[in-house]
Amino acid sequence: MTHFPYVGGELHVEQVPVRRIADAVGTPFYCYSSATLADNYQAYVKTLGALGVGIYYSLKANSNQAVIRTLGQLGAGADVVSVGEMHRALKAGVPADKIVFAGVGKTELEMEAALEAGIYQFNVESFGELETLSDVAARMGVKAPVTLRINPDVDAKTHAKISTGKSENKFGIDIEQAAQFYSAAARMKGIRIVGLAVHIGSQLTDIAPYRAAFLKIAELAQTLRKAGLTVERIDLGGGVGIAYRDEATIDLQDYAALVKEIISPLGTKIEIEPGRSIVGNAGLLVSRVINVKAGVSRKFVIVDAAMNDLIRPSLYDAYHGIIPVAEPASDAPVERCDVVGPICETGDRFAEQRPLPPVKPGDLVAFATAGAYGSVMSSTYNTRLPAAEVLVRGDRFDVVRPRPSYDHIIGLDKIPDWLA
């Protein structure tokens, strides 16, 4: 986290003190570093650009308009899994011909909207979806550019809830049926079949599953070509993991070497769709300590952020570093604490028995590596106001999603006439 230094005893985001943002915006809030976003994106360009790999940022990781525009201006395309995300990408300035539409449950209305916009590619996940897309496209008098997402039955060795490449997962077309479906797609009136896609899961920290999946896709591409079918593109999905604590991760140079060895010889266009590895370590969730409660068997640090703001620890037992905004002394004592939020759920817990330096009510703490699957998965559970979002660039910051008011949230409901 190079762009989140302690300077003069205070945590900064680039050149901006976190405390200054907290005083201006209130807590909790998400804060993103433009420099980290750029560094992470450029790392992909540097290692894979020479191989002609197209980089399509996966919006599901963080779909804030300012984040999308920052990456779009650097040259990134967009990987979307809903028409809502497509509209976000378009409004942020990503051209339609740099948008890939993935996802297992596209509706006819979504297909129509994406075809009307003229997107680059649909990643199709079932034969039923393929038939529906063909019908919709034919009705509109166009052909949909399609890759078939293949399920290679490869264990990504990641969390069960984010594994997507095993035969029991809901995603993709079984690799044993792929040739039959690809051949059928080539004959469909509304389909222009252009290639294959694969995505075996998120937060991979071992390169071996990639090798297994890439070999299967390369072999399938060669089989299809021998049958006289055209394979122009290979979409390799995303999933390169990041370090939330001290775990080993995949070196992008090793990933690029694997692409060069297995996929590049096919002579196709190549696409990847990173999300977490671009935005994950670019963000903090900043919160204020409400109370420190000494229980019978443990100490609780109660903060003003909650599981509605950052659900990953509750949903996945995910780890996020917890950093005091005021730099602790090097010899400060540590004590094991449960860090919890105010929501009426026992699962509203960020950390259990985490060693922390002393904190007191009013102190600011930051949850590290919170730029991916943070705000984008938040809710208003318990009628809590969602965290604001802030973007920093150098010595400047701006609120890129204001905290809504209670009137705004409650005003989304409608009272029927008979209760008026």
Residue 265: alpha-carbon gap to chain centroid:
29
Q: How far apart are CA 293 and CA 409, in angstroms?
A: 31
Q: How far apart are CA 218 and CA 197, in angstroms?
A: 11
> Which of 139, 132, 147 is closest to 101 using CA atoms?
147
| Rama region for 57: left / alpha / beta (φ>0; ψ in -120 to 50; rest) | beta
The structure tokens 């790999």 sit at: 53
Cβ pair 290, 27 in contact under 8 A: no
DSSP H helices, 302-419, are: 312-316, 406-410
Per annotation, catalytic residue among 160, 344, 412, 415: 344
Question: Could you check whether the bond before residue 361 is cis, i.e. omega within 30 degrees of 0?
Answer: no
Known catalytic membership, residue 31: no
Cβ pair 44, 55 in contact under 8 A: yes
Who contacts 60 (Cβ-Cβ below 8 Å, separation ≥6)?
79, 81, 85, 275, 373, 376
Transcribe 141-190 into DSSP letters: T--EEEEEEEE------S-GGGB-SSTTSSSSEEGGGHHHHHHHHHT-TT
Cβ pair 234, 271 in contact under 8 A: yes
Three-state secondary structure call for residue 199? coil
The catalytic residues are 344
